[in-house]
């Protein structure tokens, strides 16, 4: 069934869902859920839109039944971690390619898809400030590099020229039409933006690369392979009388992720600090 023009804004989320149908059904499910929720806000009264959204709801119900054994579907906190890890893994891949000066369609698509999946995270509640920053940066990077390659220019690696809100919301990595304006081209030095280190000095406040946010105590980029939190708490009971909640396990996992991210940039101090926080939480139940 063709997507009604009134619902054009959800087309990239539906395309991402289709691409992940077999690769990662959980990602496909939440992309469709976000598309359905967004579509309901856009237009749920026009007959063609209503018909499309009802069909999408039926598809979601079918998927939910097929994925009934998946913790990522039955437990929101696990689903949230799954989508966040996947999105930030794509972000880290694209960012590494960018900083190495390897500009190609796959890295553009990874930047853009990660921004879409960070949108999808809103089905679980409000986005963290870190994820809002990653989403803005990823969407800007996708648009900027796309425009450069299209015009035959060599993109600047890293955050040079980054200005918030300069990306095109309608940009699609596979032909959604990047902006024809120069809005995504470098316009100012990154150290004129809040939260950035001077690239000539080599770092932000933590000694890592100067892209937002530079506070690696809060950054949410996973280190290494994607591994969603899907181990039930009861499989690993803590020692003593401490009883941990699923949220405690998720927080501990995030501290470990922050530590991994810091190690990616050889920031040992931040890594140790976050590992100590995880250890304290797991052994005492308190932060």
Percentage of the chain beyond pLDDT 90 is 54
Work out the mean pLDDT of the chain and round it to a whole number.
76
pLDDT at 183 over 50: no
What DSSP line would sit under 252-270, residue for residue?
HHHHHHHHHHHHHTT-HHH
Are 17 and 32 in contact, with CB atoms under 8 Å apart? yes
Domains of the chain by start residue, with CATH = 5-68 (1.25.40.270), 74-156+212-284 (1.25.40)
pLDDT at 264: 65
3-state SS assignment for residue 160: coil
Residue range 154-168, pLDDT digits in tens: 999 988 777 644 444
Considering only residues 123 and 287, tell me which one the structure prediction assigns the higher pLDDT: 123
pTM for the predicted model, two decimal places: 0.61
pLDDT band of 192, cuts 50, 70, 90: very low
Residue 233 and residue 239 in contact, taking contact as beta carbons nearer than 8 Å: no
End-to-end CA distance of the chain: 50
Neighbouring CB atoms inside 10 A of 128's CB total 15
Q: How confident is the model at residue 106 (pLDDT cuts 50, 70, 90)?
A: very high
Averaging pLDDT over each range in 108-117, 216-225, 228-237, which range is the top one?
Answer: 108-117
User: Up-side HSE of residue 49: CA atoms within 13 Å toward CB?
Assistant: 18
User: Does the structure show a pLDDT above 80 at 59?
Assistant: yes
Q: Which two tokens stand for residue 207?
A: 């000694």
Looking at per-residue pLDDT, the higher value among 55 and 261 belongs to: 55
- Determine contact, residues 167/184, Cβ cutoff 8 Å: yes
pLDDT band at 178 (very low <50, low <70, confident <90, very high): very low
């Amino acid at each position: 069934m063709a997507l009604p023009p009134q619902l054009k804004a959800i087309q990239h989320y539906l395309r991402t869902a289709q691409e992940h149908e077999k690769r990662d059904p959980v990602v496909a499910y939440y992309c469709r859920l976000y598309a359905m929720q967004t579509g309901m806000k856009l237009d749920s009264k026009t007959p063609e839109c209503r018909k499309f959204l009802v069909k999408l709801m039926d598809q979601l119900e079918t998927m939910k039944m097929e994925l009934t054994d998946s913790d990522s579907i039955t437990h929101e906190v696990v689903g949230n971690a799954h989508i966040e890890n996947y999105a930030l893994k794509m972000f880290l891949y694209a960012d590494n390619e960018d900083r190495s000066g390897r500009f190609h369609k796959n890295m553009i698509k990874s930047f853009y898809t990660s921004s879409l999946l960070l949108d999808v995270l809103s089905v679980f509640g409000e986005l963290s400030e870190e994820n809002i920053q990653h989403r803005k940066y990823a969407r800007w990077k996708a648009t900027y590099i796309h425009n450069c390659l299209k015009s035959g220019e060599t993109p600047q690696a890293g955050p040079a020229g980054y200005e918030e809100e300069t990306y095109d919301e309608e940009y699609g990595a596979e032909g959604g039409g990047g902006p024809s304006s120069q809005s995504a081209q470098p316009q100012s030095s990154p150290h004129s933006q809040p939260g950035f280190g001077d690239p000539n000095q080599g770092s932000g406040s933590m000694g890592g690369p100067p892209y937002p946010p530079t506070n690696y105590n809060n950054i949410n980029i996973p280190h290494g392979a994607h591994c969603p939190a899907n181990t039930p708490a009861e499989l690993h009971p803590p020692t003593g009388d401490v009883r941990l909640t699923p949220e405690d396990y998720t927080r501990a996992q995030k501290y470990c992720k922050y530590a991994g991210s810091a190690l990616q940039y050889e920031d040992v101090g931040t890594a140790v600090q976050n590992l100590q926080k995880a250890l304290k939480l797991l052994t005492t139940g308190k932060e």
